[in-house]
Amino acid sequence: MNPSNWIDLAQDRETGIETLRAHFYKGHAYDPHWHDSYLVGVTEQGVQRFNCRRARHDSTPGKIFLIEPGEIHDGEAPDDAGFTYRMLYLDPQWLERELASLFEEAPANHALSFAETLTQDPRLAQAALFAFGALHGQELRIVRQSALDGLLGRLTQHTQWRQRQSTDPRLPLVAQRARDYLHAHCYRDLGMDELAAACGIDRFRLTRAFKAAFGLPPHAYLVQLRLARARRLLAGGAWPADVANDLGFADQSHLGRWFLRAYGMTPAAYRKRCSNLPD
């Protein structure tokens, strides 16, 4: 990471919501990755360029970007001044529970979905920044809850319910079968031959189908899957060395290199900022 780049991250104990404010100078910010959370971010300064949902987006000051759990995205700064942004990471169960109370009838077997990835809504931006400030600044509980209620009220204008599906008809079945296999065996030292055999296809065609469907080849997807789970374990106070061992990384340094590329900070720094536990 550029030594001039900086990240300020905290976690709200009551809701588990992470709040992050960061700045990246020109060039690469972070590799393609995903989160287990719903992301609500506001660009403060500069141009924040990222790829998501098979499209390139340029977020400028005041714009809001909305990213669902599992959506692969990256980040870069195309201009010399770089970019600054604020982000809230909303736990899916918390968000669905809270938003469901705002709808008269939340449909069964449906999941929340963002209608668009990048939008211009000054009232939503204001609500997101107010919620960020309340949580990041550890305001009184009533202030934090009121700020979140205001954010949720504005988010209803940008969310929709989509039916949960075991398979996505838009994606090749073999790619989805491979993804399910990776999720079921993500801690093991898998080989492409094993994955291809489980899917009934040769590994070359599998790699092409998988990358076309998910934007990453299987090996990179597996790394990101492990990183997403590492993030949760570290936030709970687990030691980086134990996380690396439990998730199948060669060692702590191996986990650290990938974690830094994806999230812009080391596992130890992330653990400390989320858990407030000593190194």
The DSSP secondary structure of the chain, one letter per residue, reads --TT-EEEEEE-TTT--EEEEEEE-SEEEEEEE--SSEEEEEEEEE-EEEEETTEEEEE-TT-EEEE-TT--EEEEE-STT-EEEEEEEE-HHHHHHHHHTTSSSPPTTEEEEES-SEE--HHHHHHHHHHHHHHHTT--HHHHHHHHHHHHHHHTTSEEEEE--SS-TTS-HHHHHHHHHHHHTTTS---HHHHHHHHTS-HHHHHHHHHHHHSS-HHHHHHHHHHHHHHHHHHTT--HHHHHHHTT-SSHHHHHHHHHHHHSS-HHHHHHHHH----
**pLDDT of 45 over the 90 cut:** yes
The predicted pLDDT at position 156 comes to 86
Q: Are residues 209 and 101 located together in one domain of the fold? A: no
pLDDT at 157 over 80: yes
Q: Is 1 within the bounds of a domain?
A: no
Query: Is there a single domain that holds both residue 79 and residue 27?
Result: yes
> For 184-239, how does the pLDDT look when each residue is reduced to its tens digit (9 = 90+)?
999 888 999 999 999 999 999 999 999 988 888 999 999 999 999 999 899 889 99
Tally the domains of the chain.
Answer: 3
- Total-model pTM: 0.83
Maximum average pLDDT range among 90-99, 121-130, 247-256:
121-130
Asked if residue 27 has pLDDT above 70, the reply is yes
Confidence of residue 93 (pLDDT cuts 50, 70, 90): confident
129-133, 260-264, 274-278: least confidently modelled range:
274-278
User: Would 193 be classed as within a structural domain?
Assistant: yes
Q: Tell me: do 198 and 143 sit in the same domain.
A: no
Q: Note the pLDDT of residue 213.
A: 87
Does one domain contain both 132 and 243?
no
Give the range of the structural domain holding residue 73, as residue numbers without chain letter: 6-163
Tens-digit pLDDT profile for residues 117-139:
999 999 999 999 999 999 999 99
Average pLDDT over residues 154-173: 73
